[in-house]
Chains A and B, each alone.
Chain A
Amino acid sequence: MGKQVLLIEDEPNIIEAISFILSRDGWTVRTHSTGRDTMDVVRARAPDLIILDVMLPGRSGFDILADIRADPAVGATPVLMLTARGQRKDREMAEKAGASRYMTKPFSNAEVLAVVRDLAGE
């Protein structure tokens, strides 16, 4: 079984598309689509990589990232953040919160694949 990625995103067709391309690349993709109970899912899955949307219903992605980083069991997991806002402020917030990478929507599949492979290799 390949490595596991947890995709936390609320847009169903983005979930489907990213799941598809990552599965074809040999990843096992798990998804979660709200900001609630996220930490329970992260702890239970203990994924090799997390893709996290900044704006989720219920909770901000920045807060979730802070929780992930504060948890000793899963704190070292690489996290790729996705956002629809490209402002510098968001990028700074993501870096401060401990994002490994940051990507602005709309992105291309090739970009996502490249970053995911890169993060998995680190």
Chain B
Amino acid sequence: MPESRFTGARIREQRLQRGIKQTDLAAAAGISPSYLNLIEHDRRRIGGKVLLRIAGALGVEPQLLSHGAEAALISGLREAAGRVKGGAVELDRLEEFAGRFPGWAEAMVGAERRSAELERNVKALSDRLAHDPRLAESIHEVLSVVTAIRSTASILVETRKLEPEWQARFHRNIDEDSRRLAEGAKALVRYLDAAPGSDADIRSPQDELDQFLTENAYHFAAIEKRGAAAIDAVLDAAEGLTLPTARHLARMHLEDYARDAARLPRATLARALADAGCDPPALASETGVDLPTLFRRLASLPEEVAGPVGLVVCDGSGALLLRKPIAGFAVSRIVAACPLWPLYRALTQPGAPLRRTLLQAWRDARPVRAFAVTEPLGPALINEPPLLRGYMLLLPADAHAGDHDTPAPVGTSCRICPRQDCVARREPTVMQDGF
């Protein structure tokens, strides 16, 4: 780091503040005035002894003149300058700026950090809008109905000599569609009124944990290599974990991760995958681990090793503890899930693994192969029913792997589920008449 340049500016600053002449300071420090002049104007590097003598003559700590706390400030300023688009930032005078106006520099770095954070929040919120299946579905429906109305209306207006039967039919269609449109628009407004983020709590600890895991693709190479010893370093590098509870959740997750990785190392699992393919029961018997451990390990491998793997974990209350998504199967971050999922049904028969091909009722849904199993928490206690955790592993359904069974229809969440006559329904859908 070219700290000498920074130091020169600070010496000059301190000297002028004290009203000391250059020649006097040079004499006190035992150097020539011209040499001091060169130092002050960043033309000469300054050695340790000279710095000490100058600091002594000025009556300040030598650290005040050299680097130190300013290093962080300077890197913050450099970051801020990097984000300035098109402006002419005097990068070559950055150290001088930090040296002469440390308060302003601090304020600028602070403002820059805050703006980066706000940008992240805005992005997180718009991601939420873009990926909210309820909203996408509602908008799609509204557009479909609008298309039908527009097309039908222009037939009515533009077709000369339209037969009365056709005319009656198209009138009926428009009436029907306009009613659906009105309902759909109302549903959309109701939904937006109650949208998440309309209250202050836009980022929960669970949100931060989800984001942390997503950013790392649920895989932590450092922990695979060095085990629990790497946890602190991984957490230190995680800037997105700002809430203490989020850090706590992340630490718990990583501790489980390290334990699992020790029990079933990546190399062992990769070998078994190469032999048996992604067939969970076969993998479990080959590697000798229980299904929940195997599920967690499969979900933590990079996609190029294990293919796309989704994992949903819940506790006995049904609360989702982990949601690793897979394409074509929606797991809402916001509302409670569908009780038809094998995840919840496995809880009713602890220990018995379930396997089912599932298909959700939305437009881009794909069939997925689901394996669900429970895991008891803590040791078994006499006369105490076990506390359970439910696991549901999701793989793309693959006809070649024997997924010939008809997919069981399941939902995402009742509010957006179009399935009629479902005994598991807990609240009416907002998608009446196809909405």
The yes or no answer to B144 lying at the interface (CB within 8 A) is yes
B148–A11 contact, CB under 8 A?
yes
B364–A18 contact, CB under 8 A?
no
Give the chain B neighbours of A24 by CB distance below 8 A: 159
Which residue of chain A has its CB nearest to the CB of B141? A84
The yes or no answer to A100 lying at the interface (CB within 8 A) is no
B144–A16 contact, CB under 8 A?
no
The yes or no answer to B44 lying at the interface (CB within 8 A) is no
Please provide the chain A residues from 67 to 97 with a CB less than 8 Å away from any CB of chain B in the complex.
84-85
Q: Select the stretch in A37-45, A55-63, A114-122 that faces chain B.
A: A55-63
A106–B177 contact, CB under 8 A?
no
The yes or no answer to A21 lying at the interface (CB within 8 A) is yes
Query: For the complex, what is the distance from the CA of A24 to the CA of B155, rounded to whole Å?
Result: 11
Question: Could you mark each residue 160-184 of chain B with 1 if its beta carbon is under 8 Å from any beta carbon of chain A, else 0?
Answer: 0000001001100100110000000
B155–A21 contact, CB under 8 A?
yes
Secondary structure class of chain B's binding surface, majority of residues: helix
Question: Could you mark each residue 255-298 of chain B with 1 if its beta carbon is under 8 Å from any beta carbon of chain A, else 0?
Answer: 00000000000000000000000000000000000000000000
Give the chain B neighbours of A14 by CB distance below 8 A: 144, 147-148, 151
Please provide the chain A residues from 1 to 56 with a CB less than 8 Å away from any CB of chain B in the complex.
11, 13-14, 16-18, 20-21, 24, 55-56
A107–B154 contact, CB under 8 A?
no
Contact of B148 among A13, A60, A110, A112 (CB under 8 A): A13
Give the chain B neighbours of A108 by CB distance below 8 A: 150-151, 154
Known contacts: A60-B364, A105-B147. The answer to whether A20 contacts B140 by CB under 8 A is: no
The yes or no answer to B158 lying at the interface (CB within 8 A) is yes
B158–A105 contact, CB under 8 A?
no
Known contacts: A55-B363, A108-B150. The answer to whether A85 contacts B140 by CB under 8 A is: yes
Known contacts: A57-B363, A84-B143. The answer to whether A109 contacts B158 by CB under 8 A is: yes
8 new A-B contacts at CB < 8 Å, known A17-B170, A21-B155: A13-B149, A16-B173, A17-B151, A17-B152, A24-B159, A84-B140, A85-B140, A109-B158
Query: For the complex, what is the distance from the CA of A113 to the CA of B364, rounded to whole Å?
Result: 28
Query: For the complex, what is the distance from the CA of A55 to the CA of B158, rounded to whole Å?
Result: 29
The yes or no answer to B146 lying at the interface (CB within 8 A) is yes
Q: Assign chain A's interface to a size class.
A: 20 to 34
The yes or no answer to B340 lying at the interface (CB within 8 A) is no
Residues of B within 8 Å of A, CB-based: how many?
A: 26
Give the chain B neighbours of A85 by CB distance below 8 A: 136, 140
Give the chain A neighbours of B152 by CB distance below 8 A: 13, 16-17
B147–A107 contact, CB under 8 A?
yes
Give the chain B neighbours of A56 by CB distance below 8 A: 363
The yes or no answer to B64 lying at the interface (CB within 8 A) is no
Contact of A20 among B139, B145, B166, B366 (CB under 8 A): B166
A55–B147 contact, CB under 8 A?
no
Give the chain B neighbours of A21 by CB distance below 8 A: 151, 155
6 A-B pairs within 8 Å (CB atoms) are namely A13-B152, A14-B147, A17-B151, A17-B152, A55-B364, A84-B147
CB distance from B21 to the nearest CB of A (A): 67
Give the chain A neighbours of B149 by CB distance below 8 A: 13
Give the chain B neighbours of A105 by CB distance below 8 A: 143-144, 146-147
Give the chain A neighbours of B154 by CB distance below 8 A: 108-110
Question: Which 6 pairs of residues, A with B, have the shortest CB-CB distance?
Answer: A17-B151, A13-B148, A84-B143, A55-B363, A106-B147, A105-B147
Give the chain A neighbours of B173 by CB distance below 8 A: 13, 16-17
Most chain B CB neighbours (cut-off 10 Å) among A11, A17, A108: A17
B363–A106 contact, CB under 8 A?
no
CB distance from A48 to the nearest CB of B (A): 22
Give the chain A neighbours of B177 by CB distance below 8 A: 13
Query: For the complex, what is the distance from the CA of A24 to the CA of B176, rounded to whole Å?
Result: 24
Query: For the complex, what is the distance from the CA of A55 to the CA of B361, rounded to whole Å?
Result: 12
Question: Could you mark each residue 202-227 of chain B with 1 if its beta carbon is under 8 Å from any beta carbon of chain A, else 0?
Answer: 00000000000000000000000000
Which residue of chain A has its CB nearest to the CB of B144? A11
CB distance from A80 to the nearest CB of B (A): 14
Known contacts: A13-B177, A55-B364. The answer to whether A109 contacts B143 by CB under 8 A is: no
Query: For the complex, what is the distance from the CA of A21 to the CA of B150, rounded to whole Å?
Result: 13
Give the chain A neighbours of B159 by CB distance below 8 A: 24
A17–B143 contact, CB under 8 A?
no
CB distance from A39 to the nearest CB of B (A): 14
Query: For the complex, what is the distance from the CA of A107 to the CA of B176, rounded to whole Å?
Result: 19
B148–A84 contact, CB under 8 A?
no
Give the chain A neighbours of B145 by CB distance below 8 A: 11
Give the chain B neighbours of A107 by CB distance below 8 A: 147, 150-151
Most chain A CB neighbours (cut-off 10 Å) among B140, B155, B363, B364: B363
